[in-house]
């Protein structure tokens, strides 16, 4: 679709649409060969073709014709003046009429929690099939309430999983930083000890040299 990051930058925020009717938006460039990131309102298919309806600026060559005398100039008439002089009606083209845009209702795919993630859930969060007694009374939700409750549960589940991964990543980064700081402190301590040892050795040599010189006098 694009050939360079500059072209992507020109169309940031532009609307894109697939053949199946899924809408999206261009976000930013993601490489040097015209690749870019985009968000869509649903998962697109591999067979989908993404269209970007955009206009490109084409510079027009400037042309002028100098007029030396306004008396001998016959200006070109406009199309409206020609039609008015010849009593011609404006052509009525059916293709030029505005047509109502009818958008088909899109049915999005349901949110699916992977089985590997379901196995790690506590018992209260796992999907269960509960057998109830026919004589017992229970509050029965309609289809809309069931979908809302199920969607909220899945969103909370994915949020908890994301938070868990983030905590693990932060803990790992903190431990790595702590080990790095310990290695840096150990290296600095070693340098200080070496420097102190060199200083006292030179100081001892200087003091011994002064004592030997005083005894000769």
What does the pLDDT profile of the chain (217 residues) look like in tens digits?
788 888 888 889 999 999 888 899 999 988 888 889 999 998 888 888 999 887 777 888 888 777 777 777 777 889 999 999 999 998 898 888 888 888 777 777 777 778 888 888 888 777 776 666 555 565 677 888 888 888 888 898 889 889 999 999 999 999 999 999 999 999 999 999 999 888 888 888 888 876 655 555 4
Residue 135 confidence (pLDDT): 58
Query: Does the predicted TM-score (pTM) go above 0.75?
Result: no
**Is there a contact between 61 and 87 (Cβ–Cβ < 8 Å)?**
no
Residue 217 confidence (pLDDT): 47
DSSP state of 42: S
List, in sequence order, the alpha helices (H) in the chain: 5-10, 79-86, 115-119, 143-216
Residue 211 confidence (pLDDT): 60
Tokens of 121: 């859930």
**26 membership: H or E segment, kind and range:** strand 23-29
């Amino acid at each position: 679709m694009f050939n360079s990051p500059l072209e992507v930058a020109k169309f940031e925020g532009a609307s894109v649409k697939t053949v199946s009717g899924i809408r999206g938006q261009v976000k930013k460039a993601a490489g040097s060969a015209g690749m870019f990131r985009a968000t869509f309102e649903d998962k697109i298919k591999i067979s989908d073709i993404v269209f970007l309806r955009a206009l490109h600026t084409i510079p027009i060559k400037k042309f002028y014709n100098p007029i030396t005398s306004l008396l001998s100039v016959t200006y070109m008439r406009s199309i409206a003046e020609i039609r008015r002089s010849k009593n011609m009606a404006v052509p009525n083209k059916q293709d030029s009429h505005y047509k109502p845009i009818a958008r088909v209702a899109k049915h999005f795919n349901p949110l699916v929690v992977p089985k590997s993630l379901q196995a790690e859930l506590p018992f209260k969060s796992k999907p269960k099939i509960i057998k109830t007694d026919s004589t017992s009374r229970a509050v029965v939700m309609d289809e809309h309430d069931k979908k809302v409750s199920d969607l909220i549960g899945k969103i909370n589940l994915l949020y908890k999983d994301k938070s868990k991964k983030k905590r693990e990543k932060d803990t790992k980064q903190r431990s790595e930083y702590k080990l790095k700081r310990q290695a840096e402190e150990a290296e600095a301590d070693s340098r200080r000890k070496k420097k102190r040892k060199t200083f006292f050795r030179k100081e001892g040599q200087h003091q011994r040299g002064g004592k030997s010189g005083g005894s000769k006098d």
